[in-house]
Amino acid sequence: MAISEREAAHRAASDAERIAWVDEQDRLLGELPRAELRERGLIGRGTFILLFDSAGRLCVHRRALSKAVYPGYWDLAAGGMVAAGEGYAESAERELEEELGIAGVPLVEHGRFFFDEPGNRLWCAVFSAVSDAPLRLQPEEVLEARFVDLAGASQLQPCCPDSQHALQLYLRTAA
């Protein structure tokens, strides 16, 4: 399936974004364009925000086909790369608003993990939030979204493995 000119332009701009570059211990080394981090197998910082409604259902969304990593996959969390000069919490707030249109809600941090897969090496911070506000999807990043119970979320295929790790960390720490 072909991607639109708008999606292609968004992808090019995304690849050029300057991202926090870190080592295996999450120590800041500098900043590099997102595409360069990916191509060189270097480590960036990422955020995952698990958005729940007041009934406890998780918001899941399907990634745009223009995404460089896991295009068209189901994602269990909003989120993205931490920009140069940005902290994890600031990035989480920005990404939740950009992708799903949710702003001004308290974020709870649940910890961090290192995700290491070819083309996707990240130090990840996991957050959760609760909101019943209407979703406003970013069309260049999100094809569709819905709220499902946790059992339903675990059945989605194909599903982003990094967001599956984020959900597992949440489940271990939120109890």
User: How does pLDDT run across 53-112, given as a tens digit for each residue?
Assistant: 999 999 999 999 999 999 999 999 999 999 999 999 999 999 999 999 999 999 999 999
83 phi/psi in degrees, rounded to 5: -70, 155
Range of the domain at 138: 5-174
Inter-CA distances, 78 with 89, 139, 165, Å: 13, 13, 13
CATH number of the domain that 67 lies in? Answer: 3.90.79.10
95 annotated as belonging to a binding site for a ligand: yes
- Mean pLDDT of all residues belonging to the chain: 95
Confidence (pTM): 0.94
Report how many domains make up the chain. Answer: 1
> Nearest-CA neighbor of 129 among 106, 97, 98, 163?
106
44 phi/psi in degrees, rounded to 5: -115, 180
93 annotated as belonging to a binding site for a ligand: no
Q: Residue 100 region, left (φ>0) first, then alpha (ψ -120 to 50), else beta?
A: alpha
